C-alpha cells in the first residue's frame, strides 16, 4: 500500500544546511523575521517561550520538539519581560559555537539544538502547503536523539556527510509529522490521513496515480457519497480531491522529467494521460512551461545544486 507522507517527503528532497546550539540566560528575547525555509529545534535543558506569528504562544520544556515547515516570523524568549532583539535570518552570519542570548556569564536557563534546511524539490509550494504550519511534539526521545545526531553530523567533515544529513532530515520529518495525524490538526495531508475514510482514498490516489479516477470512484473508496466526500476532503485536506490528484500527478511528472528517467510520452502515461499532447497542455497550464523545456532547464540547474 502506498505511503503518501513518505512519498511527499521524498519528492521534497530535504537537505540539511545549518544546525546550531542556542542558549538563553537572564532577561532575554529575540525576534526572528520571516524566513520561508523549514526550521526545527529540540529543547535539551530548561524552558523558554516561543511565539510564532499566527499561532498560540508555547512554553517549551526539556524534551520538546518544534518544526516550522515555512518558518514565519517568531519570538523566542525567557519568562521575564524583555525588548526583543531583531534578527534577520537571511542576513545573520553563522555563529561559531553556541549562540547565547541574554547574560553571557551566567548559567543558561535554557538550551536548545536547532537549525534549518532546504527543500530541494523544484516546486515545493503545493507539497509544503499540505503540511501543518507548526508541529509541537512533547516528550518523544527519538526526535531529540535525531536532532542531536543532525547537529553532530553537521559539525563533522566525514565522508558521506551530505547523504547522512539528508537521510536524518527525512527520518526526522516523518517522525514529527506522523505524530500529527489527528482529526483536530490543521487542514493538510496529515489531517486527511488522520481520517480513516479519506486516508483510504488518498492512499489509492498515490498507489495508482495513472488510474482514471473520478469523484464517484474516490468517494466509493471512502465509503461516502460524492457530496459528503467532496466536503470532507476539502475540510480536512484543504483543497478539492481532483485538484489534489492533479497536483500529485504533476509532482510525479516534474520529478521524472527532472531526472530524465522517461520520455515525455512515457511520463504522460505514468501519470494518467492518454497522449503526450494532452499531458503537455496540462503540464504547461500547471507549471507555466512545456515539459520538454522544463526537463532541459532542470538539467541546466543540476550542476548548480551539486556545487552548493
| Interval 272-283: pLDDT, tens | 999 999 999 999
Q: Give 63's strand partners.
A: none
Residue 153 has a pLDDT of: 87
The model's confidence at residue 296, banded by pLDDT at 50, 70 and 90, is confident
The model's confidence at residue 131, banded by pLDDT at 50, 70 and 90, is confident
Residue 58 has a pLDDT of: 95
Residue 303 has a pLDDT of: 43
The number of C-alpha atoms within 13 Å of 306 and in the hemisphere containing its C-beta is 6
Burial class (CB in 10 A: 0-12, 13-18, 19+), 295: buried
In this predicted model, which residue has the larger pLDDT, 31 or 90? 31
Q: What is the pLDDT of residues 150-165, one digit of tens each?
A: 888 887 888 888 889 8
State how far the Cα of 196 lies from the Cα of 194, in Å rounded to an integer.
6
Residue 132 has a pLDDT of: 79
Give ranges for CATH 2.60.120.280 in the chain: 4-178
Least reliable range by pLDDT among 87-101, 102-116, 229-243, 248-262? 87-101
Residue 152 has a pLDDT of: 87
3-state DSSP call for residue 307?
Answer: helix
pLDDT at 2 over 80: no
Give me the percent of the chain exceeding a pLDDT of 90: 50
In this predicted model, which residue has the larger pLDDT, 111 or 150? 111
Q: What is the pLDDT of residues 259-273, one digit of tens each?
A: 887 899 999 999 999
Residue 301 has a pLDDT of: 59
Residue 245's CB: how many other CB atoms inside 10 A?
21
pLDDT at 47 over 90: yes
CATH 2.60.120.280 assigned to 4-178:
yes
Give ranges for CATH 1.10.10.60 in the chain: 189-303
3-state DSSP call for residue 217?
Answer: helix
State how far the Cα of 146 lies from the Cα of 138, in Å rounded to an integer.
14
Residue 305 has a pLDDT of: 41
**Assigned CATH topology for domain 189-303:** Arc Repressor Mutant, subunit A (1.10.10)
In this predicted model, which residue has the larger pLDDT, 178 or 98? 98
Q: What is the pLDDT of residues 7-24, one digit of tens each?
A: 888 888 888 778 889 999
Mean pLDDT over all residues of the chain? 87
Amino acid at each position: 500500500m502506498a505511503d503518501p507522507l513518505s512519498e511527499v517527503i521524498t519528492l521534497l528532497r530535504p537537505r540539511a544546511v545549518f544546525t546550531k546550539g542556542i542558549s538563553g540566560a537572564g532577561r532575554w528575547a529575540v525576534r526572528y523575521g520571516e524566513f520561508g525555509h523549514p526550521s526545527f529545534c529540540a529543547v535539551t535543558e530548561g524552558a523558554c517561550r516561543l511565539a510564532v506569528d499566527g499561532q498560540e504562544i508555547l512554553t517549551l520544556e526539556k524534551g520538546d520538539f518544534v518544526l516550522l515547515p515555512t518558518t514565519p516570523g517568531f519570538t523566542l524568549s525567557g519568562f521575564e519581560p524583555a525588548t526583543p532583539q531583531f534578527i534577520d535570518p537571511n542576513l545573520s552570519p553563522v555563529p561559531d559555537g553556541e549562540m547565547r542570548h541574554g547574560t553571557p556569564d551566567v548559567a543558561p536557563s535554557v538550551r536548545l539544538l536547532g537549525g534549518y534546511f532546504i527543500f530541494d524539490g523544484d516546486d515545493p509550494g503545493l507539497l509544503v502547503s499540505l503540511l501543518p504550519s507548526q508541529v509541537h511534539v512533547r516528550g518523544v526521545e527519538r526526535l531529540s536523539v535525531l536532532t542531536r545526531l543532525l547537529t553532530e553530523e553537521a559539525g563533522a567533515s566525514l565522508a558521506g556527510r551530505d547523504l547522512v544529513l539528508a537521510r536524518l532530515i527525512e527520518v526526522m520529518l516523518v517522525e514529527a509529522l506522523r505524530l500529527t495525524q489527528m482529526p483536530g490538526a490543521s487542514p493538510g495531508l496529515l489531517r486527511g490521513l488522520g481520517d480513516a475514510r479519506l486516508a483510504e482514498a488518498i492512499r489509492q490516489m498515490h498507489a495508482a496515480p495513472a488510474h482514471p479516477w473520478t469523484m464517484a470512484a474516490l468517494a466509493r473508496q471512502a465509503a461516502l457519497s460524492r457530496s459528503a466526500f467532496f466536503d470532507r476532503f476539502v475540510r480536512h485536506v484543504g483543497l478539492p480531491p481532483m485538484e489534489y490528484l492533479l497536483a500529485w500527478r504533476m509532482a510525479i511528472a516534474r520529478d521524472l522529467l527532472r531526472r530524465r528517467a522517461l520520455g515525455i510520452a512515457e511520463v504522460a502515461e505514468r501519470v494518467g494521460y492518454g497522449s503526450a499532447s494532452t499531458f503537455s497542455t496540462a503540464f504547461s497550464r500547471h507549471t507555466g512551461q512545456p515539459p520538454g523545456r522544463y526537463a532541459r532547464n532542470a538539467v541546466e540547474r543540476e550542476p548548480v545544486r551539486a556545487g552548493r
